[in-house]
Copies of this chain bind each other. A is one copy, B any other.
Amino acid sequence: MVSGAYSLCPSQVRPAVEAYTYIGKAIPKLDAPDKLTGRATYLHDLVLSGMLHGRILRSQYPHARILNVDVSRAKRLTGVKAVITYQDTPKARFGFAKDNLPLKGDKVRCLSDEVAAVAAIDEDIAAEAINLIKVDYQPLAAVFDTEQALAPGAPQIHESVPNNTITSLPFQFEYGDLGQAAEEADCIITDTFILPYVTHCCLGTLSCLASFDGRGRLTMWSNTQVPFLYQRELAGPLAMDPGDIRVIQPCIGGAFGRGLDVYPFEPICALLAAESGRPVKMVLARKEDFIASPTRQPCRIELKSGAKQDGTLLLREAKVVLDCGAYLSWGAVTPWMMMATSTTLYNHPATKFSSELVYTNNPTTGAMRGFGNLQITFAIESQMDALAAELGLDPLELRLKNANQPGQVSPQGFKITSCALSETIKRAAKALDWKGSRGKSRGWGLACMFHVGGGGRVYRSDGCGAIVKVDDSGHVVLITGATEIGQGSDSALAAIVAEELGVPLERVSVVNSDTDVKPWDVGAHASRTTFVAGNAARMAAAKVKEQIKEEAARLLEARADDLEIKAGRVFVTGSPDKGLEYDKVIRARHFRSKGQIVTAEAFYDPPSEMLDKDHKGNISAAYSFGTQAAQVEVDVETGKVRILKMVAAYDVGQVINLLGAEGSVHGGIHMGLGYALSEELLVKQGKILNPSLADYRLFTGQDMPPVEVFFVEGSDPAGPFGAKGLGEAGAIPVAPAIANAIFDATGVRLKQLPITPERLAAAIRSA
């Protein structure tokens, strides 16, 4: 921990942001000019000498036995350099539950299943070759919802998994005396919430580029968010050693959790490269991207809350059934986060959480920004609102009464250090000029959120490494384990290094794209990068600062401890005249006898714990909180919702890059509004009916309401300069804030997303 000097709780002491040069200031993203001008190099832009183009033949049936695959005509097509089927590949299963194969041999389990693949000299020939492959199937009975899948005698999707129920991930937790709590409660309400299929819709569609070198090492250009886990995961189906896979991440055109898993097209691409002896690139077009991408986990949540008449919460019970689709992904771990919010967002003496993960022949689901938290927060925050209505309390007061507080330890054992949830509620309410006023078509709604903010330990190490090196001219390079997926981590990390080192930000650049080069990191997930990679970067920068000060002490004939560095100048504290430019000090250190260059490395693993078998353990070194509030206007005839204003107030400790943080919340609100109001993958008989940007109804920039973002001042004791994680937070409480505002406006509560005009109008009519 590098910032122990800061306060435990934001309300106690406020660090002097004014003293900072970069921390807490508005810093344009370092990569913004490249992205704006089209200079940024995405995977789609890459061209290697001799590169082939890969393409996949997918299943025609959601569930069928494969009887025969005839690739003979495809192989004869001029320009085709490789055609592969199950027969040509190692048979090692892969995926989160080792339930998948790159190319399917026995049967297909969903419509995106991969049956054969080709590599050809151009995309057209590859497409033509795919059309020449003939597959004989024997269709099988299929299941398309979780109830059907769990029914006795249902078709079995994986032979080794009886009843299509995944029992290996038993997210079950109980705490306190539920019976007593129910007895004491003046009011208990129960609801069922239905969450839809939505997808990441990254601007950069699924893609990869595989190339083997002459030593048999594979270089994989990938949009993964977790390059070091990706090495491990990809090695399986290729029957390779993870260390023989070098992962290079070009500029990533969106990930949002999609990059946690390895998908079949990736080992397929590598297998085509091995087969052809040439680099192979695979870029999925938009329609295929819709079909083959994972989705946010759709689920059904049964939620029960109980409270005293004065609003004191006594119990919360959640039961979640998730449709995983045909294969498990990291999405199957989303109950981890659902459970965390369910047990910890508010205080209640008794709580219970259970979940069921079910295989179906539907599209495969995955991780998506918020990692289950959008689903459970929609349920909880909708029900909090309903409870307030039931008890005749102001929803704001109900939340304040039960809000988590600093110093608490949650039922699961989460140690809440810094926590300003209450302040965020007040700040958001104030910004919206809060007043609940049901009816008259206008309404106010708010919703809170809780999320991991100091890493999220789902792997044995939650650490990140950093190397800082400063060249003779004073240019600073941070080589970080972290992954920039557009969230702005490079800019935040550069600001941390510049601040710690006392050098101008424009002298700092960040390298983060090559597993052969960067030190280990568990990946970009759980909103952990600013916190974990930030601490690592700060530690490495601090070591480098010591090296510079040590040399400057020699040159200035001063004690290193008496020196400081600011704006690139090393000087004796209190005697700014007695100083030197830092680059001059570096050259002196390098060019003297027994010279040394200026470089240091650090590795930071937060002081958190894996959940134990009872689902207890402090999973994060810090937790983030926030509140969003919405004012909406509803056309009660058409059901059309107009959002007049959204406000967001967050406790993320010390903000690092104000512009980046605001942008992150804006983006989260955008994604959350799509989830709340418009986006849904329509899935029927396992088939996605609207696989296009025209039909998917992605929330557009044009639809965005005015947004105000506030950060409640504070500092986390363990975060770099007091910062906590924010990445996912912006998206989490949007939908319930909107739903609550709609309820406030119309008296109608919808428990299913998205709240489309059709659904809302119908509900208003029937109310």
Q: Which A positions have Cβ atoms within 8 angstroms of B?
A: 30-39, 41, 45, 47-50, 211-215, 217, 228, 231-232, 235, 241-244, 246, 277, 460-461, 463, 465, 467, 469, 471-475, 477, 479, 506-507, 509, 511, 514-517, 519-520, 590-591, 594-597, 599, 601, 603, 605
Q: Is the CB of A599 within 8 A of B597?
A: no
What is the total number of copies of this protein in its complex?
Answer: 2
| A243-B474, A461-B595 known; A520+B590 contact, CB < 8 A | yes
Instruction: State whether B509 touches A516 (Cβ < 8 A).
Output: yes
Known: A33-B215, A36-B214. 12 other contacts (CB 8 A): A39-B214, A45-B48, A217-B509, A231-B471, A232-B473, A242-B473, A242-B475, A243-B472, A243-B475, A460-B591, A477-B516, A511-B516
Q: Are B599 and A519 in contact (CB under 8 A)?
A: yes
Q: Judging by beta carbons under 8 Å apart, are B242 and A472 in contact?
A: yes
Q: Would you call B601 and A471 a contact (CB within 8 A)?
A: no
Q: How far is the CB of A498 from chain B (nearest CB, A)?
A: 13
In the complex, the chain B residue whose C-beta lies closest to that of A510 is B516
Partner of A475, one of B33, B241, B473: B241
Q: Name the residue of chain B whose CB is nearest to the CB of A30.
A: B215
Alpha-carbon distance A47/B41, docked complex (angstroms): 12
State in angstroms the CA–CA spacing of A120 and B594 once bound together: 49
Q: How far is the CB of A297 from chain B (nearest CB, A)?
A: 28
Q: Are B517 and A479 in contact (CB under 8 A)?
A: yes
Minimum CB–CB distance for A234 against chain B, Å: 12
Cβ contacts under 8 Å, A36 to chain B: 214
Nearest chain-B residue to A590 (Cβ)? B461
With A597-B463, A605-B595 in contact, is A511–B517 under 8 Å at CB?
A: yes
Cβ–Cβ < 8 Å partners of A603 in chain B:
595-597, 599
B242/A471 in contact, CB under 8 A: yes
Can you report 20 residue pairs joining A to B where beta carbons are below 8 Å apart? A30-B215, A39-B212, A215-B506, A215-B509, A217-B509, A228-B471, A228-B472, A232-B473, A241-B475, A246-B509, A461-B590, A465-B599, A467-B467, A467-B601, A471-B515, A472-B520, A520-B597, A594-B605, A599-B601, A599-B603
The complex places the Cα of A514 from the Cα of B248 at a distance, in Å, of: 14
Q: Which residue of B lies closest to A51 (CB)?
A: B47
In the assembled complex, the Cα of A33 lies from the Cα of B215 at a distance in Å of 7
Residue of B nearest to A243 (CB): B475
- Return chain B residues, CB-CB under 8 Å to A463: 590, 595, 597
Chain B residues with CB under 8 Å of A37's CB are 214, 277
A519 engages B469 (CB within 8 Å)? yes
A517 to chain B, nearest CB (A): 5
| 8 closest Cβ pairs, A-B complex | A243-B475, A33-B214, A460-B591, A243-B473, A34-B214, A45-B49, A242-B473, A47-B47
User: Are B39 and A213 within 8 A (Cβ)?
Assistant: yes
A209 and B603 alpha carbons, distance in the complex (Å): 35
CA of A41 to CA of B37, assembled, Å: 28
Closest Cβ neighbor of A38 among chain B residues: B50
In the bound complex, do residue B48 and residue A41 qualify as a contact, i.e. CB atoms below 8 Å apart? Answer: yes
Question: With A and B bound together, what is the CA distance between A235 and B605 in angstroms?
Answer: 39
On chain B, the residues within 8 Å of A474 by CB distance are 243
A246 contacts which chain B residues (CB < 8 A)? 509
A82 to chain B, nearest CB (A): 16
Distance to closest chain B CB from A256 (angstroms): 24
B520 x A471 contact (CB < 8 A): yes
Residue of B nearest to A481 (CB): B597
A461 contact from B231, B244, B519, B591, Cβ within 8 A:
B591
A197 to B246, CA, bound (A): 44
* A213 partner, pick from B33, B243, B277, beta carbons under 8 A: B33
When chains A and B are docked, how far (Å) is the Cα of A590 from the Cα of B461? Answer: 7
What separation, in Å, do the CA atoms of A597 and B463 have in the docked complex?
9
Contact A31 B214 (CB under 8 A): yes
Enumerate chain B residues within 8 angstroms of A31, measured Cβ to Cβ.
214
Q: Is the CB of B465 within 8 A of A507?
A: no
| Nearest Cβ on chain B to A52's Cβ, whole angstroms | 13
B519 touches A465 (CB 8 A): no
Complex alpha-carbon distance, A471 and B603, angstroms: 13
A601 closest partner in B (C-beta): B599
Tell me which residues across on chain B come within 8 A of A211, comparing CB atoms: 39
Residues B241 and A473 in contact, CB atoms below 8 Å apart: yes
Docked pose: A437 CA to B336 CA in angstroms: 89
A304 vs chain B, min Cβ distance (A): 37
A39 nearest in chain B by CB position: B214
A468 to chain B, nearest CB (A): 11
Residue in B closest to A41 when the chains form the complex, CB atoms: B49
A465 interface neighbour in B34, B477, B597, Cβ under 8 Å: B597
Chain B residue numbers with a CB within 8 Å of A50 are 38-39
Contacts of A241 in B (CB 8 A): 473, 475
Q: How far is the CA of A461 from the CA of B461 in the complex (A)?
A: 39
Name, among A48, A243, A467, A590, the residue most crowded by chain B CB atoms within 10 Å (CB to CB): A243
Cα(A31)–Cα(B597), bound, Å: 29
Chain B residues, CB < 8 A from A509? 215, 217, 246, 516
Give A35's nearest chain B residue, CB to CB. B214
Tell me the minimal C-beta distance from A30 to chain B in angstroms.
6
With both beta carbons as reference points, the residue of chain B lying nearest to A278 in the complex is identified as B39
In the assembled complex, which residues on chain B have CB atoms less than 8 Å from the CB atom of A231?
471, 473
Check if A471 sits within 8 Å of B243, measured CB to CB. Answer: yes
Query: How far, in angstroms, from A232 to B516 measured CA to CA in the complex?
Result: 27
A519 near B597: Cβ-Cβ < 8 Å: yes
Give Cα A50–Cα B41 distance, bound, in whole angstroms. Answer: 10
